[in-house]
Amino acid sequence: MTLRRPSLPGRRSLGIATVLLVTGGSITLAQDASPAAMPGPAADKVTFRSVFVDTAPLELQAGTIDLYLYGLRTEAAQQLQGADGVQLFQAPATALSLVLNPAPAPDGKLNPFAIPAIRTAMQYLVDRDFISRDIYRGLAQPMITHVAPSDLDFQTIYDIDRGSDIRFDPDYARQQISDAMTAAGAELVNGVWQFDGEPVRVKLIARVEDERRQIGDLVASELQDAGFQVAVTYQPFAAAIQSVYSSDPAAFEWNVYTEGWGRGAAQRYDDSTINAMAAPWLGNLPGWREQGFWQYEDPEMDALGQRLFRGEFASVDERNDIYRQMTQRELVAPVRVWLASVVNSFPATSDLTGATQDVSAGPRSAWTLRSASVPGSDEVKVGHLWVWTERTTWNPIGGFGDVYSTDIWRNLFDPPIANHPFTGVPTPFRASYEVTTVGPTGTLDVPADAVVWDAQADAWVPVAAGTQATSVVTFDYSKYLQSHWHDGQPITMADAVYSIAQGFDIAYDPDKAQVEVALAATSRPYLDTFKGFRLTDDDRLEVYVDYWHFDQDQIAAYASPTSLSMPWEILAAMDDLVFDQRRAAYSDTAAARYDVPWLSLVMSRDARLVDRTLRQFGQRHTIPSGVFQMGGRSLVTTDEADARYQAAQDWFDQYDHLVISNGPFFLARYDPPAQFAELDAFRDPTYPFTAADFDLGPPPVLSIDPVDGATAGLGEDVSLDVSVQGPGTVALRYLLIDPATGAVVQEGTAAPAATGGTFTVSIGADVTAGLFPGLYRLDLAASSDATALISERTVDLEVTP
Amino acid sequence: MWRPLAVRAASLLGVLLVVLVLLVVTLGATGYSDRILGAVVNEEMRGLRTTMAQTIRDPAQLEDALATRRAELEQSYGLDQPWYQRLPGMVGRVLTFDLGEARTVRTYDGSNRIVDIILERLPSTLLLLTTALLITAAIGITVGVWLSTRVGSRLDRVVSYAAAVSYAMPGWWMGILLILVFGFLLKLVPTGGMYSTPPPAGALERLLDLAWHALLPILTLVLVSVGPSVYVVRTLTLNVAQDDHVTLARAKGMSERIVQRRHILRVAAPPIVTGLILGLAGTIGGAILVETVFGWQGMGRLYFEAISGTPDDGLIVGLTFMFTLVYVIARMILEVLYVFLDPRVRYAS
């Protein structure tokens, strides 16, 4: 079974009009060709500076920034909606939930949330519409499972979610609570539940920094109305995590906590979030898998979750079935009650064009700034909350832990594969690939001339005889290898090979693993699944891996062995500093243990250490031993190595940092005290992309055209034509719901009509025969393989006698 | 006189020691340090589980990897030692002026030595807060003394009301207001940050640029503190002006200028100077909100970084030592100044 996906279209040469002057590593465009037609990004320059969140709208309107990359406060976002000269990029970047403490109370006490029926009643007690509509002023959407309507897996559980009949129904909730509390031996005295003569008290911790404070007040009020005595504590992050996540649930420092979750880039097939949010084994439910704490247990959910997690399914249907079972189970007696998916608003001037955005992360994607420009200006001015923080660390091995650095860094390098901003599916970015797999049950032989890195011998050695793997992915790196690093040196296979060997070395070389303990321990289980590598030609690398997924793009993403983000000489110099000289560390913990700097290539002090090491390499004509001897070939000569060392030193002399990469921008200036960074366009003629390659346009929008309500007599067939507008292969699902009971009467997929985009929803006579006369609700959901976002519409179906 | 001063110096150094001991006991014996650091480790582990779950597919291997990372983090935070071994060492070290290393906070060029961090931040704060305080004090003393001779006048009433408004005005709000007016509407001054974008390259140009950016925050700090300053000086000098010795001086026919300078201001000086010196000492603590509004990397934000997010107890101890030391030095300066400022003050030998 093979699949080949082409990478982004490349541009291998330039027209005569484009003449480049290369001066000391900086590249200046001499002709007046349009940037859009030249290699590299749309803008010649992108600057980042720190802007306080409350003054960001003013800065934007004053023209001092073109785009703000930090989410605005709800009120400010609302004020900017429809404002002249401003456009808002919106992304569902936050999810909110309540976590309930289900630990059993000691004798003589009663913890209401230990009773499953009361946890279920909470689903009906919280007013999600109020949270979305009033507290977040329309900038949020209600959610009842961990999957928001904007998530890619919403299509998987659409009918479970929309057909669940979970709604705000305080009377129903209070009745359920009353029944359960009475059964537990409590009695309602003057509107307050009492147990053993004491009022039943609920400790609610509400975060204080944002709208979760109001949500805490709302939930407290709803719990009070249900008869509980509620003590609300408003806490900031540090205090809250201490109370909730670091205390034994059986100590009852809290009963309810208002959680908030950040969302990353879109992911097509989730298996970790559902486990983290619903399955106790992954340690994100009360008890947190901390030794000595009471633990919330759900063995059935754990079993399902671990099947999903280990990939123990043979098809997409089987995978979806597990996912649906978990979601269904999550809705009953939940320990985590989902509230809303909050839209983060990132404002930009209306002049900003071409800014491709991710459906989940908004403008914080690898695509956005590559294609963005402001007509009449060669610069895009970006504001962010910070450019530099005290925790900023730029090293690709154990750094980049803060979003501010990552938001800059992603514009400086081209990853081999990235999740598509609209679909979340892993997509070739600068590498292309070909996948062959015999999974989930079969194995294929790893060829005898494939090699693995022997960390003891510091050499690539042939794989052991009889080695087998589930899949092989052939990566084609030609779009890297025909081009240059920012310092002008050619990108070669040696760069890929070194970075692969580096990962294995840190994990398996006992001396290195002893220094970077955590990095080694956390990467080893992943690297254990890599069974061999083989260079098939100058551009291609075969990777044999024990991993299977029904989606071959997922296999390729898993098997991608290198990010190819920095030249080997920088990695080698850092390795020397960390493991031989012991004057720096990759990770924060190793830095603390050895009392050395946590290596950051933008810090001049650290970069100077790397520069000095490069100088020593050059003086000694050093080449890392073993790593470049692969498949009977030597990938680097001494002259090439010396040229690279010199180019990197020249780069440091010019820019005072050692962030050298291969993306459409290079880091021209990084000034922490001024909270300023300047990214200049990398117009190297061999760079394979132009701005047009990254300009994907606005996220595709699906829409269901207005549909008139339908009428059907009892026992009659009824059909409804529905027109859907949108790109890709479109599908339409429907649910027929009895609004009186909330029950799903029928569900299905609408049949596509002969004309494109039109579907027919058919309800059979056998179904209508079983209905009572009255209004029914027909929920429609359109989806497409071209976008993660679905479109929904509700239609009335009147059943007449 | 010197012996009592030496005794006072010793007692103030005792204060320094007691503060540090109390801090350590508060952080350690109450379990605060262990709990907050443990909470930070737990929080990081929860995030790491989700991240690592993307690549490690075997639950048992995942747990092993997480356990290793947890051990690393606990060692890094010193949680592998009880507080009474971890924290007293910090006190001993800082008392010898070795402030040690911060765990996560670093300087612009990557140093985690606390002394480097403080030396980097302090000038920014001094430029902002000390300048603002000196301006405030100069205005306060000049206008306050002048007003004390015009008590009850229309101007006195206006200044009194203005002082109340100034006192009630939150600094961060005033900051945003001034940014709006002078930064965005009139476009006279920068709207925030410490340097222009792009920042100038030369050292002198950078210094001038820094001063230019400090204008609005300094104005903010002056506006919110000058009212109380004027009012306090006015009240202090007014009380002294009504003393018998002032009446006697006037009865002797001394000029009003001499009466004000020698008989009123000098007597009222100790409390005014006390406020000024302690205020100056206090300025090194920074002003968190104003620094945040103006994007100013000063001591206020440093303290905030030390105690928020991932609390850094080494940095907390180091900063507390430094602040207490500055307070002790300021108190000693005051003890000496009192003797010279007010002849009535004499220490028993």
Written in H, E and C, the secondary structure of A489-511 is CECCHHHHHHHHHHHHHHHHCHH
DSSP secondary structure code for residue A463 in this structure: P
Calculate the alpha carbon distances from A575 to A230, A365, A454, A505, B98 in Å: 56, 30, 17, 10, 31
**Rounded mean pLDDT, A49-66:** 90
What is the share, in percent, of chain A residues with pLDDT greater than 70? Answer: 95
What would the pLDDT profile of A213-253 be if each residue is shown by its tens digit? 999 999 999 999 999 999 999 987 767 877 888 789 999 99
d(CA A546, CA A536): 20
d(CA A389, CA A436): 44
User: In angstroms, what separates the C-alpha of B202 from chain A's closest C-alpha?
Assistant: 13
Q: Collect all residues of chain B within an 8 Å Cβ-Cβ radius of residue A99.
A: none
Please give the model's pTM, rounded to 2 decimal places.
Answer: 0.82
Q: Is the pLDDT of residue A11 over 90?
A: no
Q: Collect all residues of chain B within an 8 Å Cβ-Cβ radius of residue A588.
A: 76, 104
Specify the amino acid at residue A743. A
Report residue A781 as tokens: 């959901």
- Strand A471-476 with A540-545, pairing: antiparallel
What would the pLDDT profile of B197-243 be if each residue is shown by its tens digit? 889 988 899 999 999 999 999 999 999 888 888 988 898 888 888 88
What would the pLDDT profile of A717-739 be if each residue is shown by its tens digit? 998 999 999 888 899 999 999 98
Q: Collect all residues of chain A within an 8 Å Cβ-Cβ radius of residue B179.
A: 55, 58
Confidence of residue A10 (pLDDT cuts 50, 70, 90): very low
Cβ separation A59–B54 shorter than 8 A: no
Confidence of residue A30 (pLDDT cuts 50, 70, 90): very low
The 10 Å Cβ neighbour count of residue A743 is: 11
Cβ separation B61–A309 shorter than 8 A: no
Q: Collect all residues of chain B within an 8 Å Cβ-Cβ radius of residue A590.
A: 72
Cβ separation A390–B197 shorter than 8 A: no
Residue spans of chain B under pLDDT 70: 1, 285-286, 308-311, 343-349
Q: Is B340 within 8 Å of chain A by CB?
A: no
Q: Is A283 within 8 Å of chain B by CB?
A: yes
Question: Which 3 state secondary structure label does DSSP give A47?
Answer: strand
A306 → closest Cβ in B59, B193, B294: B59
H/E element, A704 = strand A703-704
Confidence of residue A183 (pLDDT cuts 50, 70, 90): very high
**Rounded mean pLDDT, A741-766:** 87
Confidence of residue A27 (pLDDT cuts 50, 70, 90): very low
Q: A538 phi and psi, to 5 degrees? A: -65, -25
d(CA A501, CA A533): 11
Question: Which 3 state secondary structure label does DSSP give A699?
Answer: coil
User: In angstroms, what separates the C-alpha of A529 from chain B's closest C-alpha?
Assistant: 9
Cβ separation B76–A593 shorter than 8 A: yes
Q: A194 phi and psi, to 5 degrees? A: -125, 145
Confidence of residue A703 (pLDDT cuts 50, 70, 90): very high
DSSP-assigned letters across all residues of A36-95: GGSBS-SSSEEEEEE--TTTHHHHHHHTS-SEE-SPPPHHHHHHHTT-TTEEEEEEEEEE
d(CA A247, CA A264): 28
DSSP secondary structure code for residue A412 in this structure: T
What would the pLDDT profile of A586-596 be if each residue is shown by its tens digit? 988 888 778 88
d(CA B212, CA B216): 8
Confidence of residue A2 (pLDDT cuts 50, 70, 90): very low
What's the whole-number average pLDDT of chain A? 90
Q: What ipTM does the predicted assembly reach?
A: 0.74
Compute the C-alpha angle B245/B246/B249, nearest 5°: 85
**E strand spans, A123-250:** 140-142, 187-189, 192-195, 198-199, 201-207, 229-235
- Start-to-end CA span in chain A (Å): 55
Query: What pLDDT is stored for residue A580 in this prediction?
Result: 95
Q: A694 phi and psi, to 5 degrees? A: -100, -10
Q: Which of B58, B64, B72 to mutate to test the interface with A (most CBs of A within 10 A)?
A: B72
Q: Give me the residue label for tokens 């599916």.
A: A425
The 10 Å Cβ neighbour count of residue A69 is: 25
Query: What pLDDT is stored for residue A6 in this prediction?
Result: 37
Q: Collect all residues of chain A within an 8 Å Cβ-Cβ radius of residue B45.
A: 283
Calculate the alpha carbon distances from A479 to A4, A415, A442, A458, B199 in Å: 16, 11, 33, 29, 36
Query: What pLDDT is stored for residue B178 in this prediction?
Result: 92
Q: Collect all residues of chain B within an 8 Å Cβ-Cβ radius of residue A307.
A: none
Q: Is B92 within 8 Å of chain A by CB?
A: no
- Start-to-end CA span in chain B (Å): 6
Interface of A with B in 39-58 (CB under 8 A): 47, 49-52, 54-55, 58
Query: What pLDDT is stored for residue B124 in this prediction?
Result: 87
**Which value, in Å, is the radius of gyration of the alpha carbons in chain B?**
26
Q: Which residue has the higher pLDDT, A1 or A703?
A: A703
Cβ separation B73–A310 shorter than 8 A: no
d(CA A137, CA A77): 10
Calculate the alpha carbon distances from A213 to A224, A246, A254, A273, B307 in Å: 16, 21, 16, 25, 22
Please give the residue of chain B at the shortest CA–CA distance from A604: B109
What would the pLDDT profile of A107-162 be if each residue is shown by its tens digit? 999 999 999 999 999 999 999 999 999 999 999 999 999 998 878 788 899 999 99
Please give the residue of chain B at the shortest CA–CA distance from A382: B197
Q: Collect all residues of chain B within an 8 Å Cβ-Cβ radius of residue A246.
A: 35, 38-39, 42
Confidence of residue A12 (pLDDT cuts 50, 70, 90): very low
Q: Is A183 within 8 Å of chain B by CB?
A: no
Q: C-alpha dihedral over B308, B311, B314, B315, to 10 degrees?
A: -20
d(CA A71, CA A91): 9
Confidence of residue A31 (pLDDT cuts 50, 70, 90): very low
Question: Which 3 state secondary structure label does DSSP give A33?
Answer: coil
Confidence of residue A265 (pLDDT cuts 50, 70, 90): low
Question: Which 3 state secondary structure label does DSSP give A736?
Answer: strand
Query: What pLDDT is stored for residue B91 in this prediction?
Result: 75
Q: Is B301 within 8 Å of chain A by CB?
A: no
Please tell me the least confidently modeled range out of A569-573, A622-626, B36-40. Answer: B36-40
DSSP secondary structure code for residue A131 in this structure: I
Q: Is B122 within 8 Å of chain A by CB?
A: no
User: In angstroms, what separates the C-alpha of B190 from chain A's closest C-alpha?
Assistant: 11
Report residue A790 as tokens: 């679905």
